[in-house]
Structures are given as structure tokens and as C-alpha cells.
Amino acid sequence: MTPDAEFGYELLVCRYAELTWHPSAGPRPALIARQLGTKERRWDTVVIEVDPAAFAARRAFGDRTIDSDLLHVVRGAPAEWAWYRDALPDPGYPWRYVRRAVHRAAGRDLIEKRRDGNRIEIRRLRPYPDWVRRIVAVENKPDLDASAADRLADQLEHDVETALADEAWLATETTGERVEPALLREMPVEVGILATDFSGGVDADAADVAWHPSDLRPAEGERRDAETETLRLEIAERAYGKGWRSFHDTMRPDCRHFELRREGKALVPHCAAKGKIPTARECSGSCAEFSPEPPQWRTKGWPIEGGPGKGFKRVLGRRRERERDRVEKVE
């Protein structure tokens, strides 16, 4: 069944996208993340369509996000040894911050560094690949009433005007009516509408395209400016490192009431005490029902592997890696 909280609905949409993306254009290799964007706009679900071969090259840089400071170093590192200030573009801020990023990048084996007298020289280990094909933003609103539609219309209009994403969608729960109410609202015509039905859980047939989106990419012969392209890459990197299963980082899986339950082909958090999918705010140490795992639960196995909370994190981590492997192998 569809969860009452928008948070639960968001997780189901993420899993649906992971299973079936693209909903109208056929299968495309993609990474799914949630709650990413900019200071001005945060998207509920983010789909990063990738080039499989280039994505495999990106994975050689490790599983963690390469943040904006590190990207400046990794992308600009030369093939041969050079003083970092000669090799890298002017950052527009003091070079001492770049020097710190150089040390961090070398510490993560993203580049090589050495000293030549008082100078720090750098050299790339491998070229940073052009792995991102497209970025798609999805706004999730299971119950789309008039007031919610008005607020969403402004946000989606912003997405269309800025064109930071290549495509924008609205996901909403189907009503079973012939014409979906979302189509009757004042939504931008460029935004696609995905009508979902998770009453039987998540699978490849749990949604229908009620309205096809427009392509928001620049016209032929035009390009986004360098600052926008860098911002898009930073979003893609955060999506790569975070994914959508990172909800356990802001919850308390070490509570005895925390569970993972199936909703079709989705695995979502569940609170046995409240009998529902909790939000991150509800699933916290301040919850009246919070009860830490008994010590006996944490001492099973050899060596000591921790209790169910640690196990939940391992399960979610393995699923994330499995999806990364799948994306990399798509032809």
C-alpha cells in the first residue's frame, strides 16, 4: 500500500525509477538519488542517466562523492608532473584552499603528488570521465490537492526556466479517473506526469505516463555555460555517493523497533511501535518509543558484527553496490 507520509512515497518512487527508468523512452542505465539540488531548489528524486563505459571509469575513483573542491583538482590534474598552480585553472578563491584539496585528493588516491623544493607538483592517475548523460528531476506528491498544486506549479516552473535538469517530472498517486486531476492543474506543460499505483507494492508496472515531458536541454548548436555544467556534475557526484538508500544515516536502525519491510520489490524502513514508515524526524533518539538494541543482540557472530541495526546498513549497502554493478554492465 502507499504510505501516508510523503517520505515513504518518495522511497517507492525511487525504487520504481531504479527498476524501470525511463518510463516512456525505454530502459536507460541510471543512478537514483533523493533530496539533492541547489540552495534555491531541492529535488525529491534525482535520476542520473549515465554512459555505462564512462561510469565504470568513474567507479575506479572510489565509492565516495568527489566534492566541488576535489573536482577542481581531479579534472584539472595533468598527465605529467606540474606545479599545481600552473596545472589547475584559477579557482577564483585563495590558492591555499586548492592546496588543501590537493592533499585531500592525494590522500584518497585520486591523484599523485610530490614535492619539488618548496613546490607541490601533481599528476593524474587516470582521466576523469564524462560519465553523466542526462539529469532528470522528479517532484513527488502522492495527494495532489489544489493548494499543493499551486505551490508545485511555481517550483516546477523554476525547473523549466533554469533548465538545470534535462527533464522534469511530477509523480502523483493515480485516482483511477479517466483524466488524472494533475493534468487539470496549472502545471507547466513541459513537465511530465507519472501516475503511480503502489497499492500492490513496487514493480515495473506500478506507474503509467499520464503526460510526456519536454526536453529541457539547450537547442542544437547551443551549450550550457561552464558554471552550470560544473554545478550539474557536482549534483551527479553527490547522487553517486549518496544514492537513495542512505535514509539509515538520518534514522536509528539501532532501535529494537526499526525494521526493513518489503513493498513489492522495494525494501523500506518500518517502525514496529508506530506501525508505519517513519520519517527521519520521527525515527530519532528523541522518539518516546526509542529503545536501543539489547547488548545481547550486538554480540552475536564472530568477530562481533553488531546487532540488527548494523545488519540493516550492510543489506542496504550491498543493494546499492548491486545496482551500481548493474548500471555498469548495461550495454
β-bridge partners, 111: 124
pLDDT for the residue 302: 45
3-state percent breakdown (helix, strand, coil) of the chain, nearest 5: 35, 20, 40
pLDDT for the residue 171: 95
Domain 68-124: which CATH number of 3.30.300, 1.10.287, 1.10.10, 1.10.3470: 1.10.10
Q: Report strand pairing: 192-196 vs 207-211.
A: antiparallel
pLDDT tens digits for 69-85?
999 999 999 999 999 99
pLDDT tens digits for 82-133?
999 999 999 999 999 999 999 999 999 999 999 999 999 999 999 999 999 9
pLDDT for the residue 297: 65
Tell me the CA distances in angstroms from 219 to 163, 222, 224, one per residue in order.
11, 5, 10
Q: Tell me which of 305 and 247 has the higher pLDDT.
A: 247
pLDDT tens digits for 173-210?
988 776 567 666 678 999 999 999 999 999 999 999 99
Q: What are phi and psi of 291, to 5 degrees?
A: -140, 110
pLDDT for the residue 1: 42
Share of the chain above pLDDT 70, in %: 92
Residue 288 pLDDT class (50, 70, 90 cuts): very high
- Residues 169 and 128: their CA atoms lie apart, in Å, by 30
Looking at the predicted structure, is the pLDDT value of residue 25 above 80?
yes
Helices (runs of H) and strands (runs of E) counted in the chain: 9, 11
For 184, residues 6+ apart whose C-beta sits below 8 A from its C-beta are none
- Residues 200 and 117: their CA atoms lie apart, in Å, by 67
The answer to whether residues 154 and 162 touch, using CB atoms and an 8 Å cutoff, is no
The answer to whether residues 236 and 247 touch, using CB atoms and an 8 Å cutoff, is no
What residue segments make up the domains of the chain, in order of their start? 6-55+130-242, 68-124, 246-329
